Amino acid sequence: MDGKEVLLMGWVRDIRDLGGIRFIVLQDRLGRIQITVPESDVDEKTLAKSGSLHRQDCIAVRGTVRKMEKAPRGVEIVPKEIRILGIAKQPLPLDVTGKTPAEIDVRLDARVLDLRSDKGQAIFKIRHTVLEATRSFLSRKGFLEVNTPKIIASATEGGAALFPIVYFEREAFLAQSPQLYKEELIIDFEKVFEIGPAYRAEKSHTRRHITEFISIDIEEAFATADDVMKVAEELMYHVCKTVHEKCGEELRVLGHKVDLPRLPLKRLTYSEVIEELQKKDVKIEWGEDIPTAAFRTLGKIHPYFYFITDWPTRLKPFYIKPRDDDPEISEGFDLMWSWIEIASGGTRVHKKEVLIKRLKEQGLHPESFKYHLQAFDYGMPPHAGWAIGLERLVMMLTGIKNIREVVLFPRDRFRLTP
């Protein structure tokens, strides 16, 4: 490449002006290169242009590649022409090089600039890799990718609060989950998956909650909880392995390591968890939900992936199947990572009369599930599935402690912009 003329486009990351010589660090999506401007070796117009640049200006540089041991990558570009394509208003709201830190709130307000940082670039390359690995894994397993409506007619599912929206002259809601649709679709396609947004109008204010997140959902016909747990753990292994192999540089930037899980993952029953917590002086009555503090304790005992199975039926939604030998216990499970729940799923109820009974037990009205129940009239097979929170998985893979950092433009209780 030495002596070759090249045309580069990118953003000015840093300028070091030594008087007779000026160094401009140019950054694009692939990396950085040093533009060296020696006073004695560059025409006047280009020299003047190089002197008028600011950090984060978008520029095009036509110049000559020069082999140079003293340059950061062993090569540098001596410009023949510099064109300013877009200027950056000074002073910038934050320091993209990360030398002067900025708080999360400041960073999110200037998100497009913030994302130019090494950390931002690394996080979203890893996120892309997770999505790519997930799609190829599930496709290879025979799952069909589907998209279900995010605008829904009624708030029938219970549980988490939905966001109401104005839909012409009616009220509608943003979907909190593709649960009902994906179950219906297995009577046509047997194995489906969806990667799409889910909305929760919860007033949670923590580092692991947002109101709009991406849910990775699967549903599989002729399958049980055990079958889909295998799919989940194999997917976790595949994703960790892919990120480990493809994102070495990104992980280095983040100072994070991804360990490959050993399969099969630990499977603890709800009762075993209660017992383990008892030993740590955390008392939970059988049938009670496990509070956050208890999960934190549990996460110390089990620092990586594990399943919690055999949850009390009353703690699970209506579509989770109670066990045939003990209806107090369900075939629902959660996939945990340390103290954080990253997935939940289970065998589903596939008999219409049982489903109607379960709906009533949970105080819901079967008549508002008319279209969902209709699917059970046309040969509903036994089935199972799960949903993984993409962002929580990405947090685990990047070591990022705040979920909003792994979302481009996060939405939470208080943030609706940018």
Binding interface with RNA (CB under 7 A): 14-21, 23, 34, 36, 38-41, 54-55, 68, 70-72, 76, 90-95, 99-106, 108, 157-161, 176-177, 179, 198, 200, 202-209, 215, 289, 291-293, 296, 317-319, 344, 387, 402, 414-415
CB of 193 to RNA, least distance (A): 14
Nearer to RNA, 236 or 390 (CB): 390
All residues at 6 or more sequence positions from 199 whose CB lies less than 8 Å from its CB, including other chains: 150, 162, 163, 174, 175, 176, 211, 212
Question: Before 418, cis peptide (omega within 30)?
Answer: yes
Nearer to RNA, 208 or 302 (CB): 208
- The answer to whether the Cα torsion of 316, 319, 322, 328 is positive or negative is positive
Nearer to RNA, 140 or 205 (CB): 205
**Is 54 designated active site?**
no
**Plot region of 360 (φ>0 → left; ψ -120 to 50 → alpha; else → beta):** alpha
**Is 208 designated active site?**
yes
CB of 198 to RNA, least distance (A): 5
Distance CA 259, CA 237 (A): 9
- C-alpha pair distances (Å), 60 with each of 4, 57, 87: 16, 10, 12
User: Which tokens hold the place of 97?
Assistant: 């090089």
What SS3 state is found at 124? Answer: helix
Which amino acid is present at 75? Answer: V
Question: Before 79, cis peptide (omega within 30)?
Answer: no
User: What pairs with residue 65 in β-bridges?
Assistant: 77
Nearer to RNA, 246 or 341 (CB): 341
Q: What single DSSP character describes residue 287?
A: T
**Is 209 designated active site?**
yes
CB of 68 to RNA, least distance (A): 4
Which amino acid is present at 414? Answer: F
**Is 200 designated active site?**
yes
Nearer to RNA, 264 or 291 (CB): 291
Catalytic pick among 62, 116, 135, 209? 209
Place of tokens 């799609």: 135
Nearer to RNA, 198 or 380 (CB): 198
CB of 362 to RNA, least distance (A): 8
All residues at 6 or more sequence positions from 292 whose CB lies less than 8 Å from its CB, including other chains: 339
**Is 66 designated active site?**
no
What SS3 state is found at 68? Answer: coil
**Is 190 designated active site?**
no
CB of 331 to RNA, least distance (A): 14
**Is 170 designated active site?**
no
CB of 124 to RNA, least distance (A): 19
Catalytic machinery residues:
200, 202, 208-209, 341, 344, 392
